[in-house]
Amino acid sequence: MPKADVPLLELRSIRAGYDGVEALYGIDFSVQAGSLVGILGPNGAGKSTTLKVISGLLRPTSGSVLLEGQDVTGVSAVQLARAGVCLIPEGRGIFPNLTVRENVLMDSYTNGRTPAELEEVAYARFPVLAGRRQQVAGTLSGGEQQMLSLSRALSTDPALILLDELSMGLAPLVVEQLFKIVRELTETGVTTVVVEQFADVVLDIADEVVVMSHGRVRLRGAPKRVRKELHAAYLGKAAH
Amino acid sequence: MEKFLVFLIIGIANYGAVYAISATGLVVSYITSGIFNFAHGAIGMFLAFVYWELHVNQHWSTLPALVVTLLVIAPLLGVLLDVLVMRRLVANASVATKLVVTLALLLAFQGLVLAIWGIKLRTTPQFFEDRSYTIGGLNISYHQTITVLTAGAVAFAMRALFRHTRLGVAMRAVVDNPEICAIKGVSPNQVTAASWALGSMLAGLAAILIAPGLNLEVNTLSLLVVAAYSCAVVGRLQSLPLTFAGALALGVGQGMIQGYLPSGNEFVSHLRPSLPFVLLFFALLVRREIRLPERIRTHAEPAPPPLRTTLLVSAVAIAAAIPLSGMLSDYQRIIGSKTLVFAAVVLSLVLLTGLSGQVSLMQLSFVGIGAVTLAKLPDGMPYILALVISTAVAGGVGLIVALPAIRLRGIYLALSTLAFAILMDDLVFGNRSVLGGGTTLAVPRPSFLGLHFDSERSFMVVVAVVAVIYANIFLIVRRSNFGRTLAAMRDSPNACQMLGMNLTAIKLRVFGLSALMAGAAGTLVGGLQARVGQLDFLWQRSLSVLLVGTIFGITSVSGAFIGALFFVVLPELANKTDAAGGALAIQPLVIGLLAMATARRPEGIAGQLRFRLRPLLGRVRAFSAPDIELPELEPAVAQS
């Protein structure tokens, strides 16, 4: 069991960038075990970069990432995935040329479940996928692809789920359905970080919200408080 | 009936089964890496030599030699290739870069084998010596049986690997998206290493099985496995069963040609080894185009110099050539002429590959057509007329070949040009009835307006003028609207189509122009050497020209000239070394390795030099800039 006083995830003055172009200028925030934290902000705020740093895909230029108090800065994405960090990346985290079944099979590297068990969990939650087991994933609809991508968060019992722009390019009805599942997941006690451009859907379900713009944290707090100041934060006036 | 069965068995066991193993390996490595490995055959060839070294030269017995070659050295080689070459390639390389790198690898392996083992012909024994058994009156050797059984086993094993194992699925998943593999806890590096180890093992297996039927020799072995390309294309680089079927059909076809067509005929004797390339050509034509995702290339290209500068440099170059050619010895003049002729050939490729992005492995075939046509025309014909006809023939053939080829892109285009080049090697340049019964043809040097350019000096001046004209043709095209269209097509064919451009017409024009240029240059290649034969136009030489162009800058005139100088001087230097087989080995090895090292930069070494030199030039200019006193400007806004 995680210790109550140590946050499950903590970022300490993270700076990171791509090919010398800085994207994050010192990010600090922490996520308590079992909570759902939303990261909001406009395009180019550094939200996805933050998730890449947490999941080990991008090595920060300075600062540290802590999981349950342990420094994991620079640990590879492969090792973090096996330790229970589950990133559902932006723009469909699936293999388009593999079948649905084969996509699910690829989830079996992170925990002890057999492919059959993984399939069972995925299809129980998303029955539409069961009918498409042998279909090449790239030919699924956008919503179905996102379901397939999200099924890993359900079936592999991760300690930390990172959701990047779950809503991207999806119909509002599908978005609603997917976020309903996210909320249910959180109620089982799993820790979740949700990155979204569209604030409302996150403000409804998050325990705490972090607002970013231009690579910095502009605002942190409970959804109620953030909702009032959100406009100002988006337009970059929160720093005063 | 019995004859039919005999040749059916030969077709299946001696050809088809080996093609199947090789082609399966090729498709497996494509499925698991996204890279069409032109060097697949050459890797196998290298491993067959390793096996020969252990088994024949070091007298190991069959089994340990096999185990060490296929289960130790082959996987190690695969992993090494992955780490050193392929891994860096997958990330961001364009299709053309991937192509050039595996082609360079092919050349490098040929050079490596020549460097280690020399050019002596060798034979490897069959498995179980020559033992055989008889069924229904037919004599079948153990080796044939083993080959067929292995082919079947490999096909089934690979199918099972991809269908039913987690590793097989992961191998395909890595090609789709390595980053998602990583976040699913699968190390992309481990998986690709396993893929290349597997591909290398299959390449070695095929080569070792086929080696006893042929001589163990660099060209035969790499060329023979080129046949696997055609089977792989039949399977659309995806389907293992189709690939297998294609391989068997090809093998049986070759068996039947061997059995039933008259053996004395010159054409037929060339047809059997050429059949794979005929199949490849047609397989490429009839298959439905699979659009590979394309990456938009972005690289800074220097703006062409202004017309005035170009003309000035051209005039100075021609004016300098006349006194300069007088100062050289005849040997130096030949080297100079050779360099300038090849600069012209490379320039025809700069237009096609550098500017238009069409990778062609048949450029020397057009050079050959130009030279051979000129040689075949009657002696009494005025040179100018003969030159026009030869050039037109090359351009015409270029258009005819381009017609089917232009539908294709990337690897498929390169493959079809390779198929054409090999067919031309076999059916035309290596055909004694074309060569008038001998192995070479005499080609005259230019003569017009009553002038004869037979001396080395006068010939060098002619060649210099031609090279300068070629450079100007290229620069004029590049500055023109047509040139901008070509660059646009190279950078994004899809965007061009959306703008309503007719890509077919554009490609046809550039292929035709490039073939015209290569053909005309070919008449001079012929004149330079006085005699031409098959060896001058081999596809390997087309490959070398392409790679040399890439090394020094396939996008620029300076790259073409420096590359041509390198291409001509390198063998001269290599000939001075007296290592056994060294001279032959150095050229492919050096070109191959250099091309691998520089393939990621299309501007090549010439471009790098230009980039490095620019600050220097800038300083010179700043130094000579006139001092102009600048007027003091009033601030527009009053300071508050």
Per-residue pLDDT reduced to its tens digit, B279-306: 877 777 776 555 444 544 555 566 777 7
Residues of B whose CB is below 8 A from A107 = 184
Q: Which of A53, A85, A88, A97 to mutate to test the interface with B (most CBs of B within 10 A)?
A: A97
The minimal CB distance from A106 to the residues B179, B186, B187 is found for: B186
pLDDT, averaged in runs of 10, over chain A (240 residues) = 73 88 90 91 88 93 92 91 90 87 89 84 90 90 90 89 88 87 86 87 89 89 85 60
φ/ψ of residue B134, rounded to 5: -120, 125
CA A235/CA A230 separation, integer angstroms: 9
Q: Determine the average pLDDT of the residues in B223-242.
A: 80
Restricting to B residues 138-167, those with a Cβ less than 8 Å away from any Cβ of A are: 166
In Å, what is the CA distance from A6 to each residue of A31, A33, A55, A62, B554?
Answer: 9, 8, 19, 22, 59
pLDDT digits (tens, 9 = 90+) for B104-142: 888 889 888 888 887 776 777 777 667 778 777 777 888
Contact assignment for B183 to A77 by CB distance below 8 Å: yes
From A106's Cα to the closest Cα of chain B, the distance in A is 7
- Residues whose CB is less than 8 angstroms from the CB of residue A113 and which lie 6 or more positions away in sequence, other chains included: A121, A155, A156
H/E stretch holding B416 reads: helix B410-423
Going along A123-180, which residue ranges are E strands?
160-164
Whether residue B169 lies within 8 A of chain A, CB to CB, comes out as: yes
Architecture of the structural domain at B2-262:
Orthogonal Bundle (1.10)
B177/A105 Cβ within 8 A:
no
The nearest alpha carbon in chain A to B176 belongs to A95
Alpha carbons B322 and B320: distance in angstroms, whole number: 6
Q: Which residues of chain A are within 8 Å of residue B175 when distances are taken between CB atoms?
A: 97
List the structure tokens of B449: 């307006």
Q: In this predicted structure, which of A116-125, B127-136, B157-166, B242-251 has the lowest mean pLDDT?
A: B127-136
Distance, in angstroms, between B237 CA and closest chain A CA?
14
Backbone phi, psi, residue A212, to 5°: -115, 150
Residue that has been written with the tokens 């990456």 in this structure: B295
User: Do B169 and A105 make contact, defined as CB atoms within 8 angstroms?
Assistant: yes
Average pLDDT of the residues in B255-261: 82
Please check whether residue A55 touches B, CB under 8 A: yes
Identify the burial level of B396 via C-beta atoms within 10 angstroms of its C-beta, where 0-12 means exposed, 13-18 middle and 19 or more buried.
Answer: middle
Please choose, from the candidates B536, B485, B518, the residue with its C-alpha nearest in 3D space to the C-alpha of residue B357. Answer: B485
Q: Which is more confidently placed, B161 or B574? A: B161
Taking 3-state DSSP, the helix, strand and coil percentages for chain A, each rounded to the nearest 5, stand at: 40, 25, 35
A93 lies within 8 A of chain B by CB = yes
Give the residue on A whose Cα is nearest the Cα of B182.
A78
pTM score above 0.90: no
Cβ distance B185 to A87 less than 8 Å, yes or no, reads no
Residue boundaries of the structural domains of chain B: 2-262, 307-616
**Range scoring the smallest mean pLDDT among A85-89, A156-160, B225-229, B310-314:** B225-229
Q: Quick check: A98 contacting B, CB < 8 Å? A: yes
Contact B186 A109 (CB under 8 A): yes
Q: Does B299 touch chain A (CB under 8 A)?
A: no
Amino acid at B120: K
Residue B71 has pLDDT above 90, yes or no: yes
Question: Residue B125 has what pLDDT?
Answer: 74
Lowest-pLDDT range, A14-28, B11-25, B238-252, B608-622? B608-622
Mean pLDDT value across chain B? 81
Q: Do B355 and B487 meet the contact criterion of CB atoms below 8 Å apart?
A: yes
CA B374 to CA B389: how far, in whole Å?
Answer: 8
Query: Measured between CB atoms, does A18 come within 8 Å of chain B?
Result: no
Chain B nearest CA to A228, separation (Å): 36
Q: Give residue for tokens 């860096």.
A: B88
C-alpha distance across the termini of chain B, in Å = 108
The CA distance from A180 to A150, in Å, is 12
CB < 8 Å to B185, chain A? 78, 81-82, 109-110
Q: What is the mean pLDDT of residues B403-407?
A: 74
Name the H helices within B211-239: 218-234
CA distances in angstroms from B227 to B14, B466, B542, listed in the order given: 13, 38, 18
A51 — contact with chain B (CB < 8 Å)? no
CATH 1.10.10.10 correct for A1-83+159-240: no
CA distances from B378 to B272, B375, B444, B628 (A): 32, 8, 11, 67
Beta-carbon separation of B185 and A110 below 8 A: yes
Measured between CA atoms, how close is B184 to chain A, in angstroms? 6
Say if strands A36-40 and A191-196 run parallel, antiparallel, or are unpaired. Answer: parallel
B621 pLDDT exceeds 50?
no
pLDDT top residue among B407 and B247 = B247
| pLDDT average, residue stretch B5-17 | 86
Give percent of chain B above pLDDT 70: 85
Amino acid in position B497: Q
Of A148-157, A183-192, B51-60, B436-445, the least confident: B436-445
Question: How buried is residue A30: exposed, middle or buried, by Cβ count under 10 Å (0-12/13-18/19+)?
Answer: middle
Tracing tokens 């992955």 back to the chain, one arrives at B82
**Domain boundaries in chain A?**
1-83+159-240, 85-158
Tokens of B234: 């039949």
- Using the beta-carbon criterion (under 8 Å), do B176 and A89 form an inter-chain contact? no
CA distance A36 to A41: 17
Q: Which residues of B touch A102 (CB under 8 A)?
A: 169, 172-173
This complex has an ipTM of 0.87
Shortest CA gap B182–chain A (Å): 5
The secondary structure of residue B131, as a DSSP letter, is -
